[in-house]
Amino acid sequence: MSQMIRTSLDALSDLLSAVGMTRPLYVCSRRWTSRLPDCAPVFSHFEPNPDFDQCAAGVSMFQRKGCDGLVAIGGGSAMDTAKGIKAMLLSTSFPAALLGQYPGSHAYPLICVPTTAGSGSEATQTAVLYVDGQKHSLSHPMLLAQGVILDPSLLSTLPADMKRSCALDALCQAIESFWSKAATTESQMIAGPAMQVIFHWFLPYLQGDRQAAEQMLHASYAAGEAIQMTRTTAAHAMSYQITKQLGIPHGDACALTLPYLWMRLTRDPAFIKPGSMLASRMGVSFNDAPLLFLGLCLDTGLYPPRCADPELLDYLTDSVNIERLGNHPQPLTREDIRALYIQALNPAPEEMAEKALALWRHHAE
Ligand SMILES: [Fe+2]
């Protein structure tokens, strides 16, 4: 199903009419209320990495205020919360909502307005929500937004560390989609250019460049479209408990493991074709591509937390969703995953870090 896309928040009332919504529930933080109509119902009781049960309060407000659709304004957490509310509205019970059983005949239209260039949730039918500390992905065609507003001016007030983390999320999504076992020529035609744009505009975006914000917003939307087609791979699967246990933002958590997963892939003959295509888009050699990624992370201040606690490493290892790893282009054993966590959560060897930084700085000149 195609989405209606606008490029300015000023077009919201037009988009509301286009999707047939007259009384939206706005799912957003309070900071956006000055941009909304007076007395508009606002649900803001959600947190980063939202819990599914937080959505129940949103359902109550939706019904109490007589709403007929949802407008999510924010990052992945706001958009995924809105999708969680919609899932509950469409289903008959909490477990049915989790299982994607949506017999409801009401469509409850959804409009997504991303205020970060990152999750790509505006382009997907998936919501990542937590239940009792465990990650659940809700995925259903009815959770895809009917309308999207990609307005780069909304990104201007984001703090630099959030910009970086969200952009790293989009970058990992584009790369993981590209090398996913489920990748097709069509999905790679979306993921490849998205990755290239994010690499190219990463630093100007962090420095506040307006054109870079526009480019990043569209590229992260494209990365969302790409993972909608392929789903993500090991970097995402390994990220969720890094975020939960160590409080590291989602995009940063994905970017900590991705270069080491990539280095392992370069030793696999089956990776030569996709790896060469990715490296060529980045303008570096096959073996240097993961180092360039690592250099970007180091240069923009993403440092590993230093984690040597064997119990935590075991917990992280055992928490990885094996099903999600089935999409990764290389088999990984439990020992592989544990070794990857040790690498990702501790400083890179000095020689590797120096080479990575030199590559990235040369690339960014
Ligand atoms: Fe992500």
How far is ligand 1, taken at its centre, from the CA of residue 153, in Å?
A: 22
Summarised one tens digit per residue, pLDDT across range 147-176 is: 999 999 999 889 999 999 999 999 999 999
How far is ligand 1, taken at its centre, from the CA of residue 130, in Å?
A: 14
Q: Strand, helix or coil at 134?
A: strand
How far is ligand 1, taken at its centre, from the CA of residue 235, in Å?
A: 9
How far is ligand 1, taken at its centre, from the CA of residue 127, in Å?
A: 10
Within 10 A of 157 (CB to CB), how many other CB atoms are there? 9
- The mean pLDDT value of the chain amounts to 95
The token pair at 334 is 């439990």
Q: Which of 294, 159, 343, 128 is nearest to 227 (CA)?
A: 128
C-alpha 21/C-alpha 324 separation (Å) is 36
Q: Strand, helix or coil at 131?
A: strand
Q: Quick one: what percent of the chain has pLDDT higher than 90?
A: 87
How far is ligand 1, taken at its centre, from the CA of residue 40, in Å?
A: 30
How far is ligand 1, taken at its centre, from the CA of residue 106, in Å?
A: 29
How far is ligand 1, taken at its centre, from the CA of residue 39, in Å?
A: 33
pLDDT at 95: 86
Mean pLDDT of 285-296: 98
Give the phi and the psi of residue 33 in degrees, each rounded to 5.
Answer: -65, -30
Does the pLDDT of residue 1 top 70, yes or no?
no
141: pLDDT confidence band, cut at 50, 70 and 90? very high
Mean pLDDT of 228-245: 94
Does the pLDDT of residue 73 top 70, yes or no?
yes
How far is ligand 1, taken at its centre, from the CA of residue 81, in Å?
A: 15
pLDDT at 105: 63
How far is ligand 1, taken at its centre, from the CA of residue 170, in Å?
A: 7
Q: Which of 251, 241, 82, 50 is nearest to 162 (CA)?
A: 251
How far is ligand 1, taken at its centre, from the CA of residue 195, in Å?
A: 14
How far is ligand 1, taken at its centre, from the CA of residue 146, in Å?
A: 21
Q: Which of 86, 66, 88, 154 is nearest to 117 (CA)?
A: 154
93: pLDDT confidence band, cut at 50, 70 and 90? confident
How far is ligand 1, taken at its centre, from the CA of residue 280, in Å?
A: 24
Which value, to the nearest 10 degrees, does the dihedral of the CA atoms of residues 249, 302, 168, 255 take?
-80
- Asked whether 164 and 154 are in contact (CB, 8 A), the reply is no
pLDDT at 103: 79
pLDDT at 99: 86
3: pLDDT confidence band, cut at 50, 70 and 90? very high
Q: Give the single-character DSSP code of 5.
A: E
C-alpha 88/C-alpha 103 separation (Å) is 11
How far is ligand 1, taken at its centre, from the CA of residue 64, in Å?
A: 33
How far is ligand 1, taken at its centre, from the CA of residue 120, in Å?
A: 8
Within 10 A of 131 (CB to CB), how many other CB atoms are there? 12
Mean pLDDT of 35-49: 92
Q: Please determine whether the domains at 4-154 and 159-364 fall in the same fold group of CATH.
A: no
For the structural domain made of 159-364, what CATH number should be given?
A: 1.20.1090.10
How far is ligand 1, taken at its centre, from the CA of residue 193, in Å?
A: 18
How far is ligand 1, taken at its centre, from the CA of residue 233, in Å?
A: 10
How far is ligand 1, taken at its centre, from the CA of residue 119, in Å?
A: 5
3-state helix, strand, coil in the chain (%, to 5): 60, 10, 30
For the structural domain made of 4-154, what CATH number should be given?
A: 3.40.50.1970
How far is ligand 1, taken at its centre, from the CA of residue 22, in Å?
A: 32
- Asked whether 282 and 289 are in contact (CB, 8 A), the reply is yes
Summarised one tens digit per residue, pLDDT across range 179-221 is: 999 999 999 999 999 999 999 999 999 999 999 999 999 999 9
Query: Domain extents for the chain?
Result: 4-154, 159-364
Does the pLDDT of residue 124 top 90, yes or no?
yes
Dihedral angle sign, alpha carbons of residues 338, 344, 350, 355: positive
Q: Quick one: what percent of the chain has pLDDT higher than 70?
A: 98
How far is ligand 1, taken at its centre, from the CA of residue 168, in Å?
A: 9
Q: Which of 149, 117, 201 is nearest to 3 (CA)?
A: 149
How far is ligand 1, taken at its centre, from the CA of residue 23, in Å?
A: 30
How far is ligand 1, taken at its centre, from the CA of residue 236, in Å?
A: 6
97: pLDDT confidence band, cut at 50, 70 and 90? confident
pLDDT at 104: 64
How far is ligand 1, taken at its centre, from the CA of residue 138, in Å?
A: 14
